[in-house]
Amino acid sequence: MVSKVDSTTVESFNGNNIYNAKVLESFFKKLKDNESNNNQKINIVHIGDSHIQGDLMTNEIRKNLQRKFGNAGRGLVFPYQLAKTNGSYNERFRCNRVWETYRNIYPIRNYPVGLSGIGLWRDSGGFVLELNIKDPSYKFNSIKIITPKNEDMFDLSTASQTKFIETAEPKIIKHKIKKGEAISVIADKYNVSIAEIKRANSLKSNNIRAGRILKIPTNETQSRNIKTSEYVSLNMESDSYSHYYNSEKALDKIYLIPNKKASKFELNGIVLEKDSPGLIYSGIGVNGAKYSDYNKYPLFFEQLKALHPDMLVFSLGTNESYEKLESGNYIKQLREFISNIKAQNINVPIIVMTPPPSLLRKRPNTFIQNYTKQIIEIAQTDGFAVWDLYDEFGGMEGIRNLKSAKLIGPDWVHYSKKGYEKQGNLFSEAFLKAYDNFKLKK
């Protein structure tokens, strides 16, 4: 394999061709038709591992393609902060309660691990989950909530209203101690016991000093108004895949609150869309994930339909290499992954992105080299396209140059922000080049 990294810099990269791009023609036709009519939403879903979870590469691809084809929304988001892990910079989540969480990389359990590859759940209500959009270009008009079996577990709110509740509480008299005044005298004056005064004031002895204020409990009651905030539920609708809300006004903040009829709360993902045609680019990534981890959970494949994908992109292989999985077994897991998707009647074009170069415990990672070779060899037979990121980033020969160009991180596995953005730009270039070639042929 010829390296595309020269001896001086990695900045000279140009996006390579997408191999077997003919399988993308049905998708390219949708793009071309939408450029003419501009009346529909087109969905791309990119599935991967830690290279995808942080949304650095995918965010660059999203921005590039939406500049060309229109911004129809942010797509799938997930409250990674509640799962105590990293996520996209485009949105922030916070909640007043702690959630249980579990990832697909762990041994299989009967937990609600679905579309996002990470389960998130609570067995009681009392929570307010706030979603804030940081990038104004992703304000949304539509929000969809994805749950196991599409159960109605959450309500949505855009604002809270203040309520005052009137309560009755014991009346407390305040008494300022005079010089020479004993606690027994004060107790007699108000017809209460010394013990009651001591308990109300957390006194350990009968000693008191002049000038201090004592609280004197009484049998009388007084009314008091307590101020509370109550979130106003929006009118939501549902379809076969989600419960959703549509807003005429573009929103940058919304609250998820408990549905009063629900006894448990399980969240698999949130989809944000705009009231405009164009492209939606959703990323699904789990740190440490392999094809086999996604294959463990049927709920992932069932819920993938909720994103209505028109094209899929895969970015997995780094973690398989760390387990020293032979290329034959890697391909077996890739094929099983595709088979699980097709079993849900999701028959759309696929681009397999080869894993990027890395070192395996400071040595050349020949496993990724072998995966790349095998992916390309079976692409035509299995009917998917390939974008060779491994070759684009120089393969084994170019990894030192990646370091000197500050594109790869100190672990020689993960990439810098600059590195992931470079990958995103290269993929965008290759994709748009293949699309332009399609239009020229037609």
CA nearest to 293, candidates 147, 414, 146, 113? 113
The overall average pLDDT reported for the chain is: 92
- The runs of H, that is alpha helices, within 38-168 are 50-53, 56-69
Is pLDDT of 198 > 80? yes
List the beta bridge partners of residue 156. 256
Q: Quick one: tokens of 50?
A: 């830690």
Tokens of residue 342, six digits: 């097709």
Please tell me the least confidently modeled range out of 165-174, 197-206, 270-279: 165-174
- For range 239-261, the mean pLDDT: 97
| Tens-digit pLDDT profile for residues 361-391 | 888 899 999 999 999 999 999 999 999 999 9
Q: What is the pLDDT of residues 38-95, one digit of tens each?
A: 789 999 999 999 999 999 999 999 999 999 999 999 999 999 999 999 999 999 999 9
Asked if residue 262 lies in contact with residue 151, where contact means CB atoms within 8 angstroms, the answer is yes
Largest CA distance in the chain: 104
404-429 pLDDT tens trace: 999 999 999 999 999 999 999 999 99
Which amino acid appears at position 111 of this protein?
Answer: Y
DSSP per-residue letters across 361-414: TTEE-HHHHHHHHHHHHHHHHHT-EEE-HHHHTTGGGGHHHHHHTT-B-TTSSS
In this prediction, residue 397 has a pLDDT band, given cuts at 50, 70 and 90, of confident
Average pLDDT over residues 126-142: 97
Helix 194-201 × helix 183-190 angle, to 10°:
100
Mean pLDDT of 346-350: 98
The residue among 74, 75, 80, 77 whose CA lies nearest residue 120 is 80
Closest CA to 233 of 251, 260, 253: 260
Q: Whole-angstrom Cα distance, residue 24 to residue 288?
A: 29
Evaluate if residue 6 carries a pLDDT over 50.
no
* String of DSSP letters for 200-237: HHT-SSS---TTPEEEEEEEEEEEEEEEEEEEPPP--E
Report how far residue 124's alpha carbon sits from residue 414's, in angstroms, rounded to the nearest whole number. Answer: 38
Cβ–Cβ < 8 Å for 344, 306: no
Q: Tell me how far apart the alpha carbons of residues 301 and 294 are, in angstroms, rounded to a whole number.
A: 8
d(CA 391, CA 402): 12
Tally the C-alpha atoms within 13 A of residue 167's C-alpha that lie toward its C-beta. Answer: 10
- Local structure of residue 61 (DSSP, 8 states): H
With residue 47 as reference, give the H or E element that holds it: strand 41-48
- The C-alpha atoms of residue 385 and residue 209 are separated, in whole angstroms, by 86
